[in-house]
């Protein structure tokens, strides 16, 4: 049975390798595999467009899509994903760091319907690879480790270019990252959707920066942000607790600082000082929850969500006042009493936010095709 494979080739200033890349990609086609090749030019300033235009004139399998302004590799992939019509979809960089002929083995689990997405790993043993930068490799492996901690996947190479999908499934994802953040974003959303993921070793012939490699340190920091931003909401419970420990600890310290200032410099009663400090810390906590942890799980409209959060804050405030006053009544120093009450609140706050303020939305995704 013949199959159709859409191959996305994002291109930015690749005039020296684009034609060679496409020639290698075309060798994939046979009586069992028909190709659709989408070259997405991201406003190249060299002759990449001219090269791509010549290729489209020679080969009917090729279509050229263009961006009028440079938007990044992720944006080019978004454009290609929307336009793809094949049964399966693969990503192929134009720089020939990867061998296009290896895509055949990557799509086999999709053909067999044992996988929904297949990653080509540069780090699985038994495949040749050019030896390049130690620190760059270490950064890639470190980002993969961080990604795995948030997604609970056991990948060896999250940052790989070679990702092969069932086309309707990748088209169902709402993708937003326009640069190299595409990689951790798509992995996080694949994990969240519960897709069957496979990994197969591939060869790798990397370029040096002098030869045109474009990814840099700032992309590494962006990838780390994307890992947390897209993965925290559905991370395993130990990771969520660790993240909320940071949020809770930051809020608790802010709470304690405000209470200390009010207790030392004002004539407010203990309950009123606790209330002011708690409300200020609650606002900080809500902002950090949205920024880091729970926002992608938000189920309600913003006004209802705020009302529910207000109820949770009031319940927590009651716990805070009761615990603080009870400990002070037992002759515990006021700051120590407040600190102990804050620890009790940590567990209560996490549970109430997770269960009531930001309950997880049900996942809707197309079934395996």
Per-residue pLDDT, 248: 82
CATH assignment of the domain containing 86 = 3.90.550.10
Per-residue pLDDT, 57: 97
76 and 106 share a domain? yes
Looking at 233, 254, 288, which one is the last position of a domain? 233
- Kindly state whether residue 60 falls inside one of the protein's structural domains: yes
183 and 95 share a domain? yes
22 and 103 share a domain? yes
Query: Count of domains in the chain?
Result: 2
- Kindly state whether residue 366 falls inside one of the protein's structural domains: no
* Residues near 91 by beta carbon (within 8 Å), at least 6 away in sequence: 7, 8, 10, 77, 161, 162, 163, 164
Residue 362 phi, psi dihedral angles, 5° rounding: -65, 145
217 and 248 share a domain? no
Q: What domain range is 191 assigned to?
A: 3-233
* Residues near 146 by beta carbon (within 8 Å), at least 6 away in sequence: 224, 227
Query: C-alpha distances in angstroms, 218 versus 37, 146, 298?
Result: 30, 17, 30
- Kindly state whether residue 362 falls inside one of the protein's structural domains: no
Q: What is the pTM of this model?
A: 0.77
- Nearest Cα to Cα of residue 255 among 231, 237, 275, 234: 275
218 and 272 share a domain? no
48 and 148 share a domain? yes
185 and 255 share a domain? no
Q: How many other CB atoms are there within 10 angstroms of residue 46's CB atom?
A: 13
213 and 271 share a domain? no
- Kindly state whether residue 368 falls inside one of the protein's structural domains: no
Residue 273 to residue 150: CA distance in whole angstroms: 38
* pLDDT tens, residue order, the chain (369 aa): 899 999 999 999 999 999 999 999 999 999 999 999 999 999 999 999 999 999 999 999 999 999 999 999 999 999 999 999 999 999 999 888 889 999 999 999 999 999 999 999 998 876 665 666 687 788 889 999 999 999 999 999 999 999 999 999 999 999 999 988 999 999 999 998 999 999 999 988 765 555 545 566 677 788 888 998 888 878 888 898 888 888 888 888 898 899 888 888 777 888 888 888 888 988 888 888 877 787 655 555 677 877 888 898 889 888 888 888 899 999 899 889 888 888 888 788 888 888 888 876 655 555 554
164 and 15 share a domain? yes
Looking at 189, 211, 233, which one is the last position of a domain? 233
- Kindly state whether residue 46 falls inside one of the protein's structural domains: yes
- Residue 66's DSSP bridge partners are 41
Give the pairing type, strands 62-66 and 88-91. Answer: unpaired
Looking at 207, 233, 259, which one is the last position of a domain? 233
* Residues near 245 by beta carbon (within 8 Å), at least 6 away in sequence: 346
336 and 264 share a domain? yes
Residue 289 to residue 253: CA distance in whole angstroms: 16
Per-residue pLDDT, 298: 55
- Kindly state whether residue 45 falls inside one of the protein's structural domains: yes
Per-residue pLDDT, 213: 52
Residue 186 to residue 116: CA distance in whole angstroms: 13
Q: How many other CB atoms are there within 10 angstroms of residue 285's CB atom?
A: 25
Residue 335, token pair as written in the block: 């700051």
143 and 256 share a domain? no
- Kindly state whether residue 150 falls inside one of the protein's structural domains: yes
The gap from C-alpha 285 to its chain's centroid, in whole angstroms, comes to 23
Q: What does the angle CA 75 – CA 193 – CA 351 come to, to the nearest 5 degrees?
A: 110
Is there a contact between 128 and 139 (Cβ–Cβ < 8 Å)?
no
Residue 266 to residue 251: CA distance in whole angstroms: 22
Per-residue pLDDT, 364: 54
Per-residue pLDDT, 233: 79
Residue 172 to residue 158: CA distance in whole angstroms: 20
214 and 265 share a domain? no
- Kindly state whether residue 33 falls inside one of the protein's structural domains: yes
Residue 115, token pair as written in the block: 């996988």
What length is written for the chain? Answer: 369
């Amino acid at each position: 049975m013949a199959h159709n494979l859409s191959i996305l080739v994002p291109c930015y200033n690749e005039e020296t390798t684009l034609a060679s890349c496409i020639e290698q990609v075309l060798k994939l086609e046979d009586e069992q595999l028909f190709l659709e090749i989408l070259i997405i030019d991201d406003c190249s300033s060299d002759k990449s467009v001219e090269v791509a235009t010549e290729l489209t004139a020679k080969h009917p399998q090729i279509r050229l899509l263009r961006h009028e302004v440079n938007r990044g590799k992720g944006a080019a992939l978004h454009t290609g994903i929307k336009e793809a019509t094949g049964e399966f979809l693969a990503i192929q960089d134009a720089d020939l760091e990867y061998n296009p002929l290896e895509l055949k083995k990557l799509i086999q689990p999709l053909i067999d319907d044992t996988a929904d997405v297949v990653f080509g790993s540069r780090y699985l043993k038994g495949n040749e690879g050019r030896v390049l930068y130690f620190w760059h490799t270490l950064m890639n492996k470190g980002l993969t480790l961080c990604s795995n901690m948030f997604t609970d996947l056991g990948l060896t190479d999250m940052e790989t270019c070679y990702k092969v999908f069932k086309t309707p499934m990748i088209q169902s994802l709402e993708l937003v990252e326009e640069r190299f953040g595409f990689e951790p974003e798509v992995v996080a959303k694949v994990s969240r959707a519960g897709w069957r993921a496979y990994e197969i070793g591939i060869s790798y012939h990397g370029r040096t920066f002098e030869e045109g490699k474009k990814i840099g340190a700032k992309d590494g920091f962006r990838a780390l942000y994307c890992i947390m931003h897209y993965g925290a909401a559905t991370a395993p419970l130990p990771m969520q607790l660790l993240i909320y420990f940071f949020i809770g600890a930051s809020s608790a310290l802010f709470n304690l600082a405000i209470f200390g200032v009010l207790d030392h410099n004002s004539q407010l009663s203990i309950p009123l000082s606790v209330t002011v400090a708690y409300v200020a810390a609650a606002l900080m906590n809500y902002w950090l929850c949205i920024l880091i942890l729970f926002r992608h799980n938000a189920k309600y409209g913003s006004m209802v969500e705020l009302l529910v959060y207000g109820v949770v804050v009031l319940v927590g405030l009651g716990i805070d006042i009761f615990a603080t006053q009870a400990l002070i009544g037992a002759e515990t120093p006021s700051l120590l009493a407040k600190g102990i009450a804050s620890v009790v609140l940590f567990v209560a706050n996490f549970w109430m936010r997770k269960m009531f303020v930001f309950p997880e939305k049900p996942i809707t995704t197309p079934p395996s095709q």
